[in-house]
Amino acid sequence: MAYVSLVALVPLAAVVARSTDGGLDGFWRSVANDQALASLRITLVASLIVVAINALTGTLVAWVLVRDEFRGKGIVNSLIDLPFALPTIVAGLTLLALYGPKSPVGIDLAFSRAAIVLALLFVTLPFVVRAVQPVLLELDREMEEAAESLGARRRTVFRRIILPNLAPAILAGSGLGFARAVGEFGSLVLITGNIPFKTEVASVFIFSQVESDNVTGAAAVSVVLLLVSLGLLLAIGALSRRVGRHEV
């Protein structure tokens, strides 16, 4: 307990304390200025887009990894964790190499909002896949077979049987991915160009405020970010507890 406090809690308390240095007015002024608001908006919109795409592609990838058989499946399966293992700055550089100014395929997304989404998709890829995979493995095929023998079409089986069973896992994975996306920094610095009002996300905004010695402003935006991701983690916790009880 003491170790957590020392390493994590005291510093975070300092952020909260510093953010209200100028009173609540000062806090409000720091958050409500145009550039800060724009960065927060860009962060949230990009994260939501990423979460929506991830819910879809993550489930698809998990499905293929569990229900399909093909050569090299083991390798593909282990590749899923690559974004967790690869340092984020390398991830950014990597994406820039393929989708940047000197792109060998002629797609230049650098310094655009699409680049934010691309980088976030890369770093949050494993969350939904790894949440859905075990549930799909455990899922009883009998229910699906029963539905099919009663004449349900495959689409109906998926919508009425499989999807409801996967939904909690998809939600939990998406939540974790969202929390990660909101705070992401390393993979975004290189590829987004950090143009205020266009591609500057909240974490990059905080960084630039620290560099220019506006620590109080940085702390205020940090507190907003903290609240968003904390609220989200608590919601996931509550959700998984409810689902857990349900199963018992």
- Write the binding mask 22 to 61 for another protein: x where contact by CB under 8 A, - elsewhere: -----------------------------------x--xx
Q: Does position 121 bind another protein by CB under 8 A? A: yes
The reply on whether position 207 binds another protein by CB under 8 A is yes
User: Which one of the spans 23-31, 33-41, 142-150, 206-214 is the region binding another protein (CB under 8 A)?
Assistant: 206-214
- Asked whether the beta carbons of 166 and 138 are under 8 A apart, the reply is no
Contacts (Cβ under 8 Å, ≥6 apart) of 196: 35, 38, 39, 205
Task: Give the C-alpha separation, 20 to 3, whole Å.
Answer: 26
Stretch that binds another protein, among 25-33, 34-42, 77-85, 159-167 (CB under 8 A): 77-85
Q: Which is nearer to another protein, 95 or 162 (CB)?
A: 95
CB-CB contact of 169 with 244 (8 Å): no
- Nearest approach, Cβ of residue 8 and another protein (Å): 6
Of 81 and 140, the one with the shorter C-beta distance to another protein is 81
Any residues with CB less than 8 A from the CB of 209 and at least 6 apart, and which? 215, 217, 218, 221
Q: CB-wise, 94 or 112, nearer to another protein?
A: 94
Tell me, by CB under 8 A, how many residues bind another protein: 75
Cβ–Cβ under 8 Å, residues 59 and 132: yes
Based on the shown chain and the rule CB under 8 A, indicate whether residue 3 belongs to the binding site for another protein.
yes
CB of 28 to another protein, least distance (A): 19
Please give the residues from 217 up to 236 whose contact with another protein meets the rule CB under 8 A.
Answer: 218-219, 222, 225-226, 229-230, 232-234
Which pair of tokens denotes residue 144? 């699906």
Contacts of 15 by beta carbon, 8 Å cutoff, 6+ apart: 219, 222, 223, 226
Minimum separation from the CB atom of position 52 to another protein (A): 15
For residue 68, give every residue at least 6 positions away whose Cβ sits within 8 Å of its Cβ, in sequence order, or none. none
- Of 183, 180, 176, 195, the C-alpha closest to 222 is 183
Instruction: Select 99 or 161, whichever has its Cβ closest to another protein.
Output: 99
d(C-alpha 100, C-alpha 212), whole Å = 28
Contact string 163-192 vs another protein (x = CB under 8 A): -------------x--xx-xxxxx--xx--
In 3D space, the residue among 22, 84, 8 whose CA is nearest the CA of residue 217 turns out to be 22
Scanning 26-34, 84-92, 145-153, 162-170 for contacts with another protein by CB under 8 A, the matching segment is: 84-92
Is residue 12 part of the contact set for another protein (CB under 8 A)?
A: yes
